[in-house]
Amino acid sequence: MSSEQVPPEPAEGTEDATGTKGAENAVDTRGAENAVDTKGAENARGERGRLELTDPKAIRALAHPVRWALLDALGQAGTLTATQASEMLGESPANCAFHLRTLAKYGFVEEAGGGRGRERPWRQTYNGMSWRARSDETQAATEALDQVWLDATLARARRSLTAIARWPKVFEDKLGASTSRLYLTPDEADEVFTELRQTYDRLVGLQHRFADRKDPRRRPADAVPIEFALLGYPVLDLPPLPDLDEEDAVEVDGEAT
């Protein structure tokens, strides 16, 4: 899985701030070779790197709805104190502060500086994240994180797609959803998903042309958050087909099947 974000660039004379996928997430089951490493997460140009998660403790720490919501909120706002986060999420400041410290412990957020008194602004440490089970040790943790990610993503999609009447009128005929089911060999599935992913990355991936709008100060007045999700998966819960009689068999390449 992956969550891909681009940090906002600081406005002149202000502290640097980082933005996320509202957390923008895209499924990527082919990533994650390295454990979390916040050292060197920023390159020579000040750009933040991608976290690739294989440490089960870090993955498990992230598999919490409030912590995921905090990353989502940081993606929307750039930087937040615990008090500001509590106002966005409806959680107590103490609870947000606890979860922000936990996220910092595992390298997902850091102090942004510029706070006053006991108020500490926080920001993300990365502009992309991926995780994948590479062993039995990490499988349970990644499945838990997958569940949190999918719950948040699909719940947000469900709320929007079942309330089209409440969308801004200008979007009614411009956005929506579509699904297709194909019957593919593994090689064919890889080919189709790779092509879809390349198009997805080109249009809305890490370096898309709207990346600077992660910074709230750089968004046009009429810009609204639009989320795109790319999913590709084998269907595991279809009922089995009934046995076919010989006369019902389909001929494929000259052979009855």
Interhelix angle for 82-89 vs 65-77, to 10°?
Answer: 110
Q: Which residue, chain included where needed, has tokens 């490493």? A: 37
Contact 118, 34 (CB under 8 A): no
Architecture of 2-256 per CATH? Answer: Orthogonal Bundle (1.10)
pTM for this model (two decimals): 0.71
Percentage of residues of the chain with pLDDT beyond 90: 51
If DSSP states are collapsed to H, E and C, what string results for 207-254?
Answer: CCCCHHHHCHHHCCCCCCCCCCCCCCCCCCCCCCCCCCCHHHCCEECC
Handedness of CA 135, 141, 144, 145 (dihedral sign): negative
pLDDT in the model for residue 251: 57
The pLDDT tens digits of the residues spanning 139-162 come to: 999 999 999 999 999 999 999 999
Contact 14, 84 (CB under 8 A): no
pLDDT in the model for residue 245: 67
Residue 246: is its pLDDT beyond 70? no
Residue 228: is its pLDDT beyond 70? yes
Contact 114, 122 (CB under 8 A): no
Pairs from 43-48 (Cβ < 8 Å, separation ≥ 24) = 46/16, 47/7, 47/127, 48/7, 48/18, 48/124, 48/125, 48/126, 48/127
Residue 125: is its pLDDT beyond 80? yes
The pLDDT tens digits of the residues spanning 43-70 come to: 433 456 778 898 999 999 999 999 999 9
- 204 in helix, strand or coil? helix
